[in-house]
């Protein structure tokens, strides 16, 4: 499979696949394709289907396969930002925010990922239920806004606002940390908790989470008078 990513800040990834080669997506993100790309919708097993539903994705996957010769298929981002290509290998799975997965080669497997620490579950927001990508192949991920990468050494930490963690190696872990100081909590405008990411591993932080963007837009929209 060969690919090109074009058009930021509203990007699209254009994939050229060999005969018999398949791509998967869960969002209905296909925007155009050659006529010989055949679509098949599959739940991929009951356990996997419910796992995807719990992580915020669709129960079903769309599988596109090139029939009778090479094919072309394009997947577009649903929000202004970037599309990142990530190579998944058996020894290097990655964990992504639940809305990040766009498409992948068929050798990539998706499953729900839970944090082991209870604190991250109750207060971590986007950090609690995430998706794990494993197997082998290229996966394409949506980044809200601009993505900044850091390589964390063993034990090295990064404090991140909720929703800004887009991708991390499965070797990383996350927990929550309460904002210190009464005035900081009530008047700081940063919420009650931050996400703490601990290495080793690579992380990708996004500058404009779609949830924060929606809140900013809602705050300036006129309200209806009842």
Q: Which residue has the tokens 């058009």?
A: 7
Quick one: 55 exposed, middle or buried, by C-beta within 10 A (0-12, 13-18, 19+)? buried
- Predicted local confidence at residue 208, as pLDDT: 86
Q: Which of 88, 103, 78, 109 is nearest to 24 (CA)?
A: 103
Distance CA 159, CA 153 (A): 14
Q: Which of 23, 25, 103, 38 is nearest to 69 (CA)?
A: 38
Is the distance from CB of 154 to CB of 200 less than 8 angstroms?
A: yes
* pTM of this structure: 0.81
Is the distance from CB of 67 to CB of 19 less than 8 angstroms?
A: yes
- Predicted local confidence at residue 20, as pLDDT: 97
- Predicted local confidence at residue 185, as pLDDT: 41
Sequential pLDDT tens for the chain (226 residues):
999 999 988 999 999 999 999 999 987 789 999 999 999 988 654 445 445 555 455 567 899 999 999 999 999 998 899 999 999 999 999 999 878 899 999 999 988 876 655 444 444 444 457 889 999 999 999 999 999 999 999 999 999 987 899 999 999 998 877 665 444 444 344 556 778 999 999 999 999 877 766 666 766 777 665 5
Q: Which of 168, 164, 166 is nearest to 213 (CA)?
A: 164
Q: Which residues contact 10 (CB under 8 A, 6 or more apart)?
A: 76, 77, 80
Distance CA 188, CA 182 (A): 9
- Predicted local confidence at residue 183, as pLDDT: 40
Which domains does the chain show, CATH number per domain? Answer: 2-220 (3.60.160.10)
- Predicted local confidence at residue 180, as pLDDT: 59
């Amino acid at each position: 499979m060969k690919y090109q990513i074009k058009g930021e800040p509203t990007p699209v990834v254009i994939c050229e696949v060999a005969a018999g080669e398949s791509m998967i997506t869960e969002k209905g993100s296909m925007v155009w394709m050659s006529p010989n790309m055949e679509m098949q919708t599959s739940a991929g097993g009951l356990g996997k289907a419910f796992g995807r539903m719990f992580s915020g994705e669709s129960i079903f996957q769309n599988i596109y396969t090139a029939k009778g010769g090479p094919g072309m298929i394009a997947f577009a981002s649903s929000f202004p930002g970037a599309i990142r290509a990530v190579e998944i290998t058996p020894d290097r799975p990655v964990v992504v925010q639940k809305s990040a997965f766009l498409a992948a080669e068929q050798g990539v497997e998706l499953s729900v990922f839970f944090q082991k620490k209870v604190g991250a579950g109750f207060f971590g927001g986007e950090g609690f239920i995430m998706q794990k990508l494993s197997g082998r192949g290229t996966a394409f991920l949506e980044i809200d806004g601009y993505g900044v990468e850091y390589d964390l050494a063993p034990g090295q930490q990064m404090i991140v606002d909720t929703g800004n963690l887009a991708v991390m190696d499965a070797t990383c872990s996350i927990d929550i940390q309460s904002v210190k100081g009464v005035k900081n909590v009530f008047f700081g405008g940063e919420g009650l908790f931050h996400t703490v990411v601990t290495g080793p591993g690579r992380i990708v932080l996004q500058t404009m989470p779609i949830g924060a963007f929606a809140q900013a837009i809602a705050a300036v929209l006129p309200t209806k008078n009842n």
